[in-house]
Amino acid sequence: MVALLAAGGFAVAGCSAPGPAEVTFYADGHTINTTPVLSCDYSQKLAQPCSAKGDTQTLKVRPGKPVQISVPGEVADAPWQIVYEYVTPQGEFKQSEPIPFTSLDRYAYTVTPPTPADRISAVDVQKYTAVLNAETGESGLLPSDVWGLRLEA
């Protein structure tokens, strides 16, 4: 009887909906898997189509060290981009230009600080979705999910 209940539990667990896509960050010898911190649904007319989903994760990284990013197929099969922030040796925060990926087959990217003395302080991965404005007939790309990572010294 216990074996049947256990088997039934596994069957039910196997039928549950998959969780949100996870993006993996690797920096300075540490790895972390993250779920979206922001998700947007443009399929309905909502006053606020985006909602916060969780806390931004944190890793430690020394100056000059890169951050490697690995995205699942769900992200790689859509247009996506990376934006990062870094700190100069003088303590000045600067933001990168967006780094877009539209080839629909890019699963990884390594963010390298502009100089060996700079330290990456934040990385955002942004997945985009095509949205059609029913009133104007215009279409465009809008962010649908955002994964965030903050890096500390």
Q: How many other CB atoms are there within 10 angstroms of residue 151's CB atom? A: 25
Asked if residue 70 is part of any domain, the answer here is yes
pLDDT of residue 4: 36
pLDDT of residue 135: 80
Here the CATH number for the domain that contains residue 79 is: 2.60.40
Asked if residue 1 is part of any domain, the answer here is no
What is the DSSP secondary structure assignment for residue 136, as one 8-state letter?
T
Consecutive H or E run containing 147: strand 139-152
Residue 2's pLDDT band, with cuts at 50, 70 and 90, is very low
Q: Among 25, 27, 24, 26, which Cα is nearest to 119's?
A: 27
pLDDT of residue 11: 41
**Residues spanned by the domain of 73:** 23-151
Asked if residue 130 is part of any domain, the answer here is yes
Asked if residue 62 is part of any domain, the answer here is yes
Asked if residue 11 is part of any domain, the answer here is no
pLDDT of residue 134: 77
Count up the domains in the chain and report the number.
1
Asked if residue 12 is part of any domain, the answer here is no
Asked if residue 43 is part of any domain, the answer here is yes
Give per-residue pLDDT as tens, 87-131.
Answer: 999 999 999 999 999 988 899 999 999 999 999 999 999 999 988
Give per-residue pLDDT as tens, 17-49.
Answer: 577 899 999 999 999 999 999 999 988 777 788
Asked if residue 90 is part of any domain, the answer here is yes
pLDDT at position 9 over 60: no
pLDDT at position 3 over 60: no
